Structure 1
Amino acid sequence: MNQKTLTQRDKNIIWHPYTQMKRWSEAIGIVKAKDAILYAEDGKQYIDAGSSWWVTLHGHSNTHIAKRISEQLTTMEHCIFAGFTHEPAVELAERLLPILPGDMARIFYSDNGSTAVEVALKMAHQYHQNKNEKQKTKIVAIEGAYHGDTFGAMSVSARSLFTEQFNAMLFDVSFIPFPSKANEGKALGELENILKQGNVSSFIVEPLVQGSGGMRMYSPETLEKLFLLCKKYDCLVIADEVMTGFGRTGTLFACNQLKDAKPDIVCLSKGLTGGTLPMGITACTAEIFDAFLSDDAHKTLYHGHSFTANPIGCAAALASLELLLSDDCQKNIQRIVAKHCEAKQQLSSHPKAKDVRQTGTILAVEIDTGETDYLNNKRDFIYQYFLNKGLLMRPLGNIIYLLPPYCISDEQLDYAYQSMEELLEIFNTQ
């Protein structure tokens, strides 16, 4: 038996994501996870207040999902998805299509959020090309966006710390201002000016909340106006619901909060399998799918992944969806929303809370530290402060946020709110 700890064994062989390995050379070893708690090898416990990068809907080691995965493992673990199909993939599509926003008619399976976006961009571009609308090649996105780390996804994301080493390799995208209440008119005006040129294929957006961009939030009314403008100029709308999907904004999907406007393509991942397995989905309307039906092989969507529609992942997604749609889970979501609303009022009164914002189960506090960029020199202090408190909360620069699993208890939430308030007080006394 290896006598070294996980942290020691990891140190010289693993390269961790979003991590400057010289500064953070030691990773915390986790040996068990259950519900909202991560258990470390040194005996410490951490409340997973960010759902392990926003994926764990129902908490860790959920027995219902585990049972469905186990059953699927002994039935069929994988099957090529080109020319073949299987029950979990068909059933998941049957269950998802009726509840997705818009008039979704087809499901395309992939591996993660970035690839779900890549598929959407390729679908939208080739849709126009297949219709002989050769001039429609431009993509529009929102300033501050984050859609993933593959090259297409980076191209439609903000030019930032995440992309700067690769900017010269990214394709050109037009960005409109973030549509805050103060900026709505400018954002709509710039979008229409771009659309009027007649060469825009698609508009991609994180509906209601920009996640990695700082948990920036805007209204359903503004989103509706953006979508309707796109419809006016025959521009496809891609809703990147990778983070906002599956109840995070208080409704099943963020676009459910729109009255009339609908997306043409929806991207899903993260909470899709309840955080148990990697999977991505790109859903589209019948109109988009039909543009690829042809005797001409050149009009085929040539995209796929080795693990497309993996049966185990589909089984996990079905189990997670059953839990999500249950009365108990929906009550938990509304309970968290109500708790967040109360906490927002309390935290907003603190002099060091520059801004407190909340949408659904997402609560974010922008701390007045004098700096606002991702590499804010207080970021590491904030992260370590929460770890010392037994809270896993990875700040976005000077922005702290709660995006918890739906099984989190009121006591755990109250502890997180109290810890956030105590952190604000530390900055107030410095």
Structure 2
Amino acid sequence: MNNQQMMQRDLAHLWHPCTQMSDHERYPLIPIKRGDGVYLEDFDGKRYIDAISSWWTNILGHGNPEIRDAIKDQLDQIEHVIFAGFSHQPAVELGEKLAALTPGNLNKCFFGENGSSAIEIALKMSFHYWRNAGKTDKTKFVALKNGYHGETLGALAVGDVALFKETYAPLLMEAMLVDSPDCYFREAGESWQQYTERQFVAMEKMLAERHGEIAAVILEPLVQCATGMRMYHPVYLKLLREACDRYGVHLIADEIAVGFGRTGTMFACNQADITPDFLCLSKALTSGFLPLSAVMTSDAVFNAFYDSYESMRGFLHSHSYTGNPLACRSACATIDLLLRDNWLEKNQRTQQLLRHALEDLQDHPNVAELRQTGMIIALEVVKDKASKTPFDWRERRGLRMYQHAQQHGALIRPIGSVVYLMPPYVVSDEQIATLTEIIRTGLPLMVQ
């Protein structure tokens, strides 16, 4: 079986995500046969460095033997069991590990199956909490402009990406959007912290005026990933936590993309030393081996639902594969490896290497900004640097980099004209050099 044969079989039946399928008439689909460390290998034997960790999931390398062996061992015990009225050791152990690892007093864990599910769970929990507390007017959610939280209807409603949202607008509840603290738009000479503090004024005003109807604020801490790796200072999280406490509003932290070390700390919230009311986790939770998500919350939230069945105060939310033993076992192995092998400490050197390898591109006439938070680094490629005028999205400049990277043995998938790297933590110095050289040679193709 070769690439062409596998591609033909695929296109006969499969519909791929985030894809205009007619593109594959011109741009060949790449069927992957196996993975090893940072590499993906297709059916023709060509290897690609996975520079985006397969949509930001695979932090410890494809085929990691210890995670793989943990799943194999679990297969010999139980593959799945209903999680209503039953339990199992991997779920119990994972709940214990997450309660110990996450910030503050997040002692209770509710499992979902993917990131969007986690967002839906957190939104429903917050709404239901206030209902149980007798504050039935608190039904609204505040979100940041330019944010993204997934594509199920609730998650889509609190996002702000027109490409995904506009078509489905008639189906969505209305969220209250506030200007983002995204530091790309700061004034010349203005620091990230200064701009972030200035941008918080809009959030403060919203909460002051409408807290009586607001259930929660939801945001992606430090990095708005899906809208171009836009970044902001941790002071926003500190100010927001204080304001939410002052006005009696929940804080939902969507760390689906940035949790487990991506921003340089185990969780992005750690950098502001805050604890959200709900912490949504997925993606790197299992190092990309199996789908799983978790919503961590406090005893105080849990206790608002704890009553007799007849009270109808229970959180009656479920998924068929809630708490799947195989997924929980892979998550336990992932956390054990993160801690045992000191990946947060090792990543500090990798972060510096990434910055050093690309920092001179800040002077490129078509690079408006080079920005980095932890293991995420991004280049904002524009038509005009001085005015930050973007290229017309219909020109699909990022596709040129995507194709160039494929030709040279890497998976780099720009977001519009934002070129970013978010590699597995096991990436080597040599592989970073290869990736950054691909970006250097691909940049002229994007802007010519």
TM over 0.5: yes
Question: Partner of 2:23 in structure 1?
Answer: 23
Question: Partner of 2:199 in structure 1?
Answer: 187
Question: Partner of 1:203 in structure 2?
Answer: 217
Give secondary structure in 2 for the equivalent of 1:162.
Answer: helix
Amino acid paired to 1:140:
V
Residue 276 (1) aligns with residue 289 (2): yes
Question: Partner of 1:386 in structure 2?
Answer: 405
Measured against aligned partners, the alpha-carbon deviations of 1:31-86 in whole angstroms (never above 9, x if no partner) come to 11100001111221110000000000101011000100000001111111001111
Distance 1:363 1:248 in 2: 10
The Cα of 1:2 is off from its aligned counterpart by: 10
Distance 2:2 2:46 in 1: 21
The Cα of 1:29 is off from its aligned counterpart by: 1.3
Question: Partner of 1:411 in structure 2?
Answer: 430
Amino acid paired to 1:14:
L
Measured against aligned partners, the alpha-carbon deviations of 1:277-332 in whole angstroms (never above 9, x if no partner) come to 00010110111111111224421111111100000000000111111112353343
Amino acid paired to 1:188:
F
Give secondary structure in 2 for the equivalent of 1:380.
Answer: helix
Give secondary structure in 2 for the equivalent of 1:248.
Answer: coil
Distance 1:272 1:232 in 2: 32
Question: Partner of 2:386 in structure 1?
Answer: none
Give secondary structure in 1 for the equivalent of 2:237.
Answer: helix
TM-score between the two structures when normalised by the length of structure 1: 0.96
Distance 2:240 2:354 in 1: 28
The Cα of 1:159 is off from its aligned counterpart by: 4.5
Percent identity among equivalent residues? 40
Amino acid paired to 2:412:
M
Question: Partner of 1:51 in structure 2?
Answer: 53
Question: Partner of 1:240 in structure 2?
Answer: 254
- Tell whether the 8 Å contact from 1:375 to 1:397 is kept in structure 2 after alignment: no
Compared with structure 1, are the counterparts of its residues 194 and 405 closer, same or farther at alpha carbon in structure 2 (3 Å cutoff)?
same
Residue 341 (1) aligns with residue 355 (2): yes
TM-score between the two structures when normalised by the length of structure 2: 0.92
Measured against aligned partners, the alpha-carbon deviations of 1:81-119 in whole angstroms (never above 9, x if no partner) come to 001111000001111111102310100011000000000
- Tell whether the 8 Å contact from 2:367 to 2:381 is kept in structure 1 after alignment: yes
Amino acid paired to 2:168:
F
**1:171-186 aligned within 5 A:** 171-181=173-183, 182=186, 183-185=195-197
Distance 1:419 1:108 in 2: 42
- Tell whether the 8 Å contact from 1:176 to 1:187 is kept in structure 2 after alignment: no
The Cα of 1:185 is off from its aligned counterpart by: 4.9
Which piece of structure 1 moves more, 180-189 or 230-239?
180-189
Question: Partner of 1:420 in structure 2?
Answer: 439
Which piece of structure 1 moves more, 208-217 or 174-183?
174-183
Which piece of structure 1 moves more, 413-422 or 46-55?
413-422
- Tell whether the 8 Å contact from 2:401 to 2:439 is kept in structure 1 after alignment: no
Unaligned runs of 5+ in 1: none
Question: Partner of 1:119 in structure 2?
Answer: 121
Amino acid paired to 2:283:
K
Distance 1:190 1:330 in 2: 34
Distance 2:84 2:74 in 1: 20
Measured against aligned partners, the alpha-carbon deviations of 1:249-290 in whole angstroms (never above 9, x if no partner) come to 01101001113x321100000001110000010110111111
Distance 2:446 2:366 in 1: 7
Which piece of structure 1 moves more, 184-193 or 280-289?
184-193
Please, which of 276, 282, 295 is the counterpart of residue 263 of structure 1?
A: 276
- Tell whether the 8 Å contact from 2:358 to 2:436 is kept in structure 1 after alignment: no
Give secondary structure in 1 for the equivalent of 2:24.
Answer: coil
The Cα of 1:24 is off from its aligned counterpart by: 2.0
Residue 250 (1) aligns with residue 264 (2): yes
Distance 1:4 1:360 in 2: 38
Which piece of structure 1 moves more, 230-239 or 327-336?
327-336
Compared with structure 1, are the counterparts of its residues 263 and 373 closer, same or farther at alpha carbon in structure 2 (3 Å cutoff)?
farther
Give secondary structure in 1 for the equivalent of 2:312.
Answer: helix
The Cα of 1:189 is off from its aligned counterpart by: 2.2
Unaligned runs of 5+ in 2: 187-194, 384-388
The Cα of 1:427 is off from its aligned counterpart by: 4.7
- Tell whether the 8 Å contact from 1:373 to 1:398 is kept in structure 2 after alignment: no
Distance 1:374 1:99 in 2: 41
Compared with structure 1, are the counterparts of its residues 179 and 373 closer, same or farther at alpha carbon in structure 2 (3 Å cutoff)?
farther
Measured against aligned partners, the alpha-carbon deviations of 1:228-252 in whole angstroms (never above 9, x if no partner) come to 1111101100000000001000110
Question: Partner of 1:109 in structure 2?
Answer: 111
Question: Partner of 1:402 in structure 2?
Answer: 421
**1:80-159 aligned within 5 A:** 80-159=82-161
Measured against aligned partners, the alpha-carbon deviations of 1:371-408 in whole angstroms (never above 9, x if no partner) come to 35765521222211111121101110000100000111
Compared with structure 1, are the counterparts of its residues 373 and 186 closer, same or farther at alpha carbon in structure 2 (3 Å cutoff)?
farther
Distance 2:253 2:422 in 1: 20
Compared with structure 1, are the counterparts of its residues 376 and 127 closer, same or farther at alpha carbon in structure 2 (3 Å cutoff)?
farther
The Cα of 1:212 is off from its aligned counterpart by: 0.3
Which piece of structure 1 moves more, 225-234 or 43-52?
225-234
The Cα of 1:351 is off from its aligned counterpart by: 2.1
RMSD (CA atoms): 1.8
Amino acid paired to 2:64:
N
